[in-house]
Amino acid sequence: MRLHRLTLTAFGPFGTTQEVDFDALSSAGLFLLHGPTGAGKTSILDAVCYALYAAVPGARQSPGAPLRSDHAPAGLPTEVRLELTVGGRRLEVTRRPAQPRPKKRGGGVTTEKAQSWLREYRPEDGWQGLSRSHQEIGEEISQLIGMSREQFCQVVLLPQGDFARFLRADAEARGKLLGRLFDTRRFAAVEERLAELRRAAEARVRTADEQILALAQRIAQAAGPAAAEAELPEDRPGEPGLAEGVLEWAAVARGGARERLGIARSVLAEAERRNDDARGALDDARELARLQQRYAETRRRAAGLEERRAEYDRCREQLARARKADLVAPALELRDEADRAHRAAGEARDRARASLPPELADAGAEQLAERERELRAELGALDAARRAERRSREIDTERARVDRQSGADDELIRETADWLAGWDTVHQELRSRVERAQEAATRAEQLAGLLAPARRRLEAARRRDALTEQKAEAEDALTTARERALAAHETWLGLRERRLKGIAAELAVQLVDGVACTVCGSADHPEPARAGDGHVDPATEEAALAAHRRAEEARAEAERHLGLIGERLDAALAAVAEAPGDTDDTAGAAGTEPVTELDDLVARLTREHTDAHRLAAGTHAAQESLAAAEREHLERLDARQRAESRAAARTSEREALDREQSALEAELAEARGASDSVAARAALLERRAGLLADAAETVRSERRADRQRKEADGRLADAAFRAGFDTPQAAAAKLLDDTAQRELQHRIDAWQAEAAAVADRLAETDAREAAERPPAAPDTAQAAYDRSARELRESATALAAAQERCTELDRLSRRAEDEVRALGPLRQEYTRVARLAGLTAGTSADNERKMRLEAYVLAARLEQVAAAATARLRRMSSGRYTLVHSDARSGGGRRAGLGLHVVDSWTGRERDTATLSGGETFFASLALALGLADVVTDEAGGVRLDTLFIDEGFGSLDDQTLDEVLDVLDSLRERDRSVGIVSHVADLRRRIPAQLEVVKERDGSAVRHRATGTLSG
């Protein structure tokens, strides 16, 4: 990789555009980059790193360190452009960080996003754009260079202070640096993965052991007293002997439980025998007590039967007479029924005769029937008269209908004539209404087109007035912020200038006798500078700088706020100046109309629009009214014509009805007689005929009932005689209903059943013999049986518990054996993984040097770096020193693998690099940095690095050593390399002709090229 040209604009301390021509500087092979402290030497290296990786080196990358120059004018964007050759391709990378810029319209600032460009130069086509994507450019550059940003900063920029610390650092610090450079994270990941596998395997083994211990606790609970015969193993989960100890202890517990099971079976057999004996004795006592009680109860029942015998005989006699009386009951019921029918028929006859005329009150049935037939014949003769009467009523109805229709048609003709008299006026009014509504609709649309812009202008005018006030306030705030920022900037520059004047005293404070000065390189300090009055310390300058930056941020924020308000005000003015149409009274005048005028305009347009809209809303209704009126006009003309036609036809119909009515009246007068109508005459005759028919029937019914009563009296007397009663009344006195007879029979049957049962029980010999024995004692036998049963239950419970304990112990023991068998592969895997994890972590006894896997890989890289660095260190030290890698363990129990020693050929001894002097440390670290650059380059794929930078440290070398170091650096040209040295040492300005000077000025730093004693700007 070779750098050709670097262009910086508004970057870091450079307020304007500066250009660094690396081709001119590299032509000599060795060039010097110098300038006062703070001028921006390191910023040039930062710009190279930023162009390639879009970030500055890690030590200077922080949110509080912006890339944009404080000296840059507002309109000049911050930009870095680097032209280089890498991988055989000539590329140009341009980067712009995210930065504020003035707005294109109005005042204020806005934040512009970060931008990147990548171009490639091709001889046949010139410069061609490749990409503007940050991600694509970053991937392309990283792939071509083959190094990460950290590796690039460590290999190309060669920070000597880091390698000086690297020489004196312990193994852990060296490991961190080498790990970043050689990316050994995959080996650390292997260590971590093995550690995770070990922890996971250990967790599985511990879990399995805990399960086995949990089973052991359950076995102890299930075994009960048998578990106390042997102690549970005290091994903790994870210890190898735990599983076998649990199995042995479980076997002992099972044996004790089986012994207790045999004892429980013997106890249960004896308890069952005693219980059987007690059960037999209890049954005998209960049977004797039952027989004795049965015999005594039989004797009591026999005595009770004798006491109820008289009642039994009385019930038998009463039931026998009631059953004889039942033979007479049907005849009695028949006679009662005939008597009731005769009385009812007589009462009906009397009621029917009461409604007859006096002359027919005592008439017989035949006379009444004859009179009924005469009335029926007269009633039949009235049918024709009834039909004539119905027709007469129909004629009256038809004449009334004709009169109503005639009156309705006359009213329709008069109403139609009145309505048609005013038709022309109504028609003209409706047409005018439709025309007015249509004109109002057109006016409403015009007003709506004017009202919306007027409202927008009113709202914009209100915003304009509010934003005008806000803009005045923002301008005042911006003026104040600018004054404060200018004052803070002047204060900071003044303090910085005072500090630079006294910087010698500040550096003198850091001087130590015998230690080389970082400026002149001398170890003697005869007259160190002293701080004068008013000296400014770094903290005061930093505080002033922070205040200046805060003031600048406040100023930028005030400018942004003012610009935002200005944009909003311009938008409001443009909205107010909007012309809503061609109407002169709504046109704006460049947005200067007062709010009151616009408000009045909006109010007037609103009222006019509302009125027009309300009138236009009746357009459809007016059109509908006009159409309805025209339809009604036609309908009324047609209705009048039809009414006149109906009136002419109705006259002849009325005359025909009058003639028919006259003919019917003569016939009806004769048929009605004294009644009001033929129907009334017919109803009268029908009612009289019905009364005669009812009276004749009641007379005949009364005769039939009298004959049936006499027949029932004869049957009753005959039935009573046959049943053995003297009179029917005697038989009726002995009658009982079914319920009473069933009650008597039940009492008789109960006495007979009790007598039979008592006789059977008195014949039992076993009860009589038991009664002759002494009284039984079942309570005593029950108490003995209860004791034996309780002992039996306790024995059975003990046996069941023992059986269940043995069953549970067998089941849990099998589970424990299964868990132990499953634990075997887990423990083997844990042993294997733990051995590998301990070996890679450096904690295993097999790892004698306690070296981790990552440290082992880094040790191999460090050995390569030491070999590459020795080739240059021997030239710089005139063959005296050699760097060697050491894998010996450090003191304090620290791990080995990353030790770095120097071999002094003058003494032949090997010692730690921390014992080197200041100058020796410098050229040793320089050799180490160059060697590391070679190894990292090879590690990255052999990318050629044609441009290197070495930062500071030459002031600690004497003249001879400096010559040797410069010779080594100059020898890099043999590989077509160019080396840039960043240093304050004045002697280097005489020794190195090609120079790049960074000049610090009040308005920003600038770069100047010097070549072979000439100055070029």
> Residue 62 above 60 pLDDT?
no
Q: Cα–Cα distance between 560 and 103 in angstroms, integer? A: 9
Q: Cα–Cα distance between 601 and 596 in angstroms, integer? A: 9
> Residue 892 above 60 pLDDT?
no
Tokens of 793: 């239950």
Q: Which of 304-308, 383-387, 484-488 has the lowest mean pLDDT?
A: 383-387
> Residue 876 above 80 pLDDT?
no
Q: Cα–Cα distance between 133 and 455 in angstroms, integer? A: 47
705: closest CA among 332, 343, 336? 343
Question: Once rounded to an integer, what is the mean pLDDT over residues 534-543?
Answer: 80
Res 281: pLDDT: 82
The more confidently predicted of residues 684 and 483 is 483
* pLDDT band at residue 421 under the 50/70/90 scheme: confident
> Residue 282 above 90 pLDDT?
no
- Asked whether the beta carbons of 81 and 51 are under 8 A apart, the reply is yes
* pLDDT band at residue 970 under the 50/70/90 scheme: low
Alpha-carbon distances, residue 102 vs 14, 105, 449 (angstroms): 20, 9, 39
Question: Once rounded to an integer, what is the mean pLDDT over residues 43-57?
Answer: 87
Which single residue is written with the structure tokens 């001087």?
511
697: closest CA among 368, 211, 288, 224? 368
Res 91: pLDDT: 92
86: closest CA among 150, 142, 19, 6? 142
> Residue 94 above 90 pLDDT?
yes
> Residue 582 above 50 pLDDT?
no
594 Cβ partners below 8 Å, 6+ apart? 461
> Residue 64 above 60 pLDDT?
no
The more confidently predicted of residues 483 and 758 is 483
461: helix, coil or strand? helix
The more confidently predicted of residues 385 and 721 is 721
The more confidently predicted of residues 878 and 579 is 878
Each residue of 939-966: pLDDT tens digit?
655 456 667 777 655 655 666 666 666 7
Question: Once rounded to an integer, what is the mean pLDDT over residues 335-342?
Answer: 78
- Asked whether the beta carbons of 639 and 412 are under 8 A apart, the reply is yes
> Side by side, which strands form the sheet with 115-122?
14-21, 2-11, 79-86, 89-96, 115-122, 126-131
Greatest mean pLDDT range, 14-28, 237-251, 300-314, 493-507: 14-28
Question: Once rounded to an integer, what is the mean pLDDT over residues 21-39?
Answer: 81
Res 238: pLDDT: 56
Question: Once rounded to an integer, what is the mean pLDDT over residues 670-676?
Answer: 64
Q: Which residues of 603-637 are buried (b: 16+ CB within 10 A; e: fewer)?
A: eebeebbeebbebbebbeebeebbeeeeeeeeebe
Question: Once rounded to an integer, what is the mean pLDDT over residues 450-473?
Answer: 86
Res 814: pLDDT: 78
Question: Once rounded to an integer, what is the mean pLDDT over residues 819-826?
Answer: 73
The H-or-E segment that residue 922 falls in is helix 918-939
Each residue of 921-937: pLDDT tens digit?
776 777 777 777 677 66
> Residue 260 above 60 pLDDT?
yes
Q: Cα–Cα distance between 962 and 957 in angstroms, integer? A: 6
The more confidently predicted of residues 1013 and 22 is 22
Helices (H), 2-133: 22-26, 41-53
The more confidently predicted of residues 330 and 378 is 330
Alpha-carbon distances, residue 586 vs 386, 457, 592 (angstroms): 94, 10, 13
Res 673: pLDDT: 63
The more confidently predicted of residues 890 and 285 is 285
The more confidently predicted of residues 76 and 229 is 76
Each residue of 764-782: pLDDT tens digit?
787 777 777 788 788 888 8
> Residue 95 above 90 pLDDT?
yes
Question: Once rounded to an integer, what is the mean pLDDT over residues 205-229?
Answer: 69
Which single residue is written with the structure tokens 């209705």?
639
- The percent of residues in the chain predicted with pLDDT above 70, rounded, is 79
Q: Cα–Cα distance between 319 and 314 in angstroms, integer? A: 9
Q: Cα–Cα distance between 816 and 245 in angstroms, integer? A: 11
Which single residue is written with the structure tokens 């311009």?
570
The more confidently predicted of residues 794 and 167 is 794
Question: What's the chain's average pLDDT?
Answer: 76
Question: Once rounded to an integer, what is the mean pLDDT over residues 886-895?
Answer: 55
Each residue of 150-170: pLDDT tens digit?
767 766 665 545 555 666 666
Q: What is the pTM of this model?
A: 0.39
* pLDDT band at residue 80 under the 50/70/90 scheme: very high
Res 9: pLDDT: 92
> Residue 320 above 70 pLDDT?
yes
Helix axes 678-722, 329-354, angle to 10 degrees: 160
677 Cβ partners below 8 Å, 6+ apart? 389
Q: Cα–Cα distance between 447 and 601 in angstroms, integer? A: 12
Res 878: pLDDT: 76
Q: Which of 607-616, 663-672, 703-712 has the lowest mean pLDDT?
A: 663-672
> Residue 674 above 50 pLDDT?
yes
Res 588: pLDDT: 45
Beta partners for residue 1008, in sequence order: 997
Greatest mean pLDDT range, 638-647, 844-853, 963-972: 638-647
Q: Which of 96-100, 166-170, 566-570, 931-935 has the lowest mean pLDDT?
A: 166-170
Query: CB-hemisphere CA count at 13 Å for 953?
Result: 27
Question: Once rounded to an integer, what is the mean pLDDT over residues 118-136?
Answer: 88
972 Cβ partners below 8 Å, 6+ apart? 29, 930, 948, 978, 979
> Residue 749 above 50 pLDDT?
yes
Q: What angle do CA 609, 611, 617 make, to 5 degrees?
A: 95
Res 843: pLDDT: 72
Res 59: pLDDT: 52
- Asked whether the beta carbons of 869 and 930 are under 8 A apart, the reply is yes
